[in-house]
A and B are shown apart, each in its own frame.
Chain A
Amino acid sequence: MIAELEEELVYARPHALFDGATHYCPGCTHGVAHRLVAEVIDELGIAEMTIGVAPVGCAVFAYNYFNVDFAQAAHGRAPAMATGIKRVRPDNVVFTYQGDGDLASIGIAEITHAAARGENITVIFINNAIYGMTGGQMAPTSLPGQKTTSSPCGRDVETMGMPLKMAEMLAGMPGAAYVVRRSLHSVKEINKAKKAIRLAFQTQMAGMGFTMVELLSSCPTNWGISAIDSLKWIEEHMIPYYPIGDYKVAEGVGSLN
């Protein structure tokens, strides 16, 4: 006779995510980032009041996965669109989900001014140092020497400049309340990332100003390496240039946790 097993559910799909497969490539960390955001939405009980803004890029179909109201923005304009939504619906929780080409290149004016105004929104910034959807071109965050389809000999900083450090830059904006960088390359860092996302949403809900969590992410397909090696690549190449850390934590934000 088989002894009755006592089972405890320790892991399930967050309610804020639909049950279904994503279009993301195997090994890509978008899925992890989506899950973290969804877990936070569940835990804060804000699914019915949250409005997301999807970017142009791999996450353009984020609305297919999140079970919250969603708009899809033009390339780089998600912070402007989120501003329009938040200004007329200040009681809703509004977040954008943007990649590095979207946020740090074509949309750098919109993100900068949203931060400067202290726009009460949360930005989930996926930095994987490359353009994913268009097939692996150089991003404003591509590392020096990084080979991409539009920098086949590696990013030449003499002609293309150094990659942009968005968390550091936006932390300098007067309206920024909570701006941090986390990484998705290990379980430990993923847990830290979730805490940061949670605090960012809480900061928004407290009406304290602009919040952004930059997430160092992988793109195995366009980096041309395995999923496992991609996580190592984040640790060995991205983190030295993009240090994990809290770049702006306004007074009072810490006590929200």
Chain B
Amino acid sequence: MPMTKELLKGNEAIAEAAIRAGVEAYFGYPITPQTELLEYMARRMPELNRVFLQAESEVAAINMVYGAACTGVRVMSSSSSPGVSLMMEGISYIVGSEVPAVLVDVMRGGPGLGNIAPSQADYFQIVKGGGHGDYRLIVLAPATVQEAIDLTYRAFDLAEKYRTVVVVLLDGNIGQLMEPAELPPMRTFNGNGHRAPWALTGAKGRPHNVITSIYLVPEVEEQFNRKLQAKYRTIAENEVRFVEYETRDAEYVVVAFGTSGRVAQTAVKHARAEGLKVGLLRPVSLWPFSEKRLAELAETARGFLVVEMNAGQMVEDVRLAVSGKGRGGVTPPVQFYGRMGGVVPFPDEVFEEIQKMATNEVTA
């Protein structure tokens, strides 16, 4: 059957993509700007005889996800910044128990109650941790509705492959905007099918399964942590995703993800039209990070500009990635331009920053 593009809203497209990826249970709690995702699930999941439950809080929602994940089903939740803060405990437990789950975080302005406008201020929280303990999440940051669909569809496979939490991290802008996109085919629903050997299904014809995250003996806990870290190294080797635009001969490289990445691309296009040799690297996986590619670009780039809708979070990773990677072991200058509190930068603002960098008005 030929696929056709439809006009889809980000949040709803993500929900439908998850359904087509075979999500069997959804637990969530209303919070703007992700509520359409929950509402879509409330309608669609029962239609398909799958589980939808509105939890009493994000705390409960993530622990319902944890419970369902222990049985080996495809399960997810979605929320937005303050709600995701409440989920941090559960995320740490899920990671510490090595069960697969998918979480969609539609970021909004903060800190505190903040506002409901698009923001990227939770990069640190999601990419660096947020919950307790040494762990990493696979973090996928779409910049378009189509990418949100594709990454959500893929997220479940990654979660199961690595038995970890995959976060689809977007800002309220991508959650709310409508644009033409194509939905993937419906996968065979695995409702009563085979479950992973570790899953809690009842100890019939096998020894009992236990899913836990407690290791009281420090050496044993360390051993478990070593296992986790080894898994993260495998993920880092295999799951880096990024998109490049006009970087081939770029003297200056803009680095931006999600909505900032879209805005930056427009600015880069403008700069090219003005004869500036500028390119864009848009990390799609925020962890694992595109540090190797950035190091390569640093060999020839005269400077980097990081654009984010926050006070400068990913810029720290860019600085680490390019540190000492310039010609002769120097570190190319890394500039930062950010808007905060739910303000989305205009392409003109970014273009001006590119111009400043290219004309050496600003030095490192």
| A interface residue numbers (CB < 8 A to B) | 47-51, 53-54, 60-61, 63, 66-74, 77, 80-85, 87-89, 92, 109-110, 112-113
Contacts and interface: CB of A to CB of B under 8 A. Distances in A.
Contacts of B53: 83, 87
Given A70-B210, A72-B212, A84 B203 contact: no
Contacts, number: 129
Which 6 residue pairs are nearest across A and B when measured between Cβ atoms?
A84-B67, A81-B67, A80-B63, A84-B64, A72-B212, A84-B68
B5 interface: no
Interface of B: 24-25, 27, 51, 53, 55-57, 59-61, 63-71, 73, 75, 89-90, 93, 97, 200-205, 208-214
A109 B59 contact: yes
Contacts of B59: 77, 80, 109-110
B202 A80 contact: no
Contact of A74 (B57, B61, B89, B204): B89
B282 to A, nearest CB: 35
Contacts of B71: 51, 85, 88-89
B57 A83 contact: no
Contacts of B203: 47-48, 67-69
Given A87-B25, A89-B201, A60 B75 contact: no
A90 B342 CA distance: 43
A67 B207 CA distance: 8
Contacts of A89: 71, 201
Given A49-B204, A74-B89, A81 B64 contact: yes
Which secondary structure dominates where chain B touches chain A?
Answer: mixed
A77 B67 CA distance: 10
A85 B61 CA distance: 12
29 contacts: A50-B202, A67-B203, A67-B208, A69-B200, A69-B209, A69-B210, A70-B210, A70-B212, A71-B212, A72-B212, A73-B63, A73-B66, A74-B89, A77-B60, A77-B63, A77-B89, A80-B67, A81-B66, A83-B67, A84-B66, A85-B70, A85-B71, A87-B53, A87-B68, A88-B25, A89-B201, A92-B202, A109-B59, A113-B56
A47 B53 CA distance: 28
Which of A54, A68, A85 has the largest count of B CB atoms less than 10 A from its CB? A85
Contacts of A92: 201-202
Given A67-B208, A74-B93, A83 B202 contact: no
Contacts of B70: 71, 81, 84-85
Contact of A60 (B55, B202, B214): B214
Which of A69, A84, A88 has the largest count of B CB atoms less than 10 A from its CB? A84
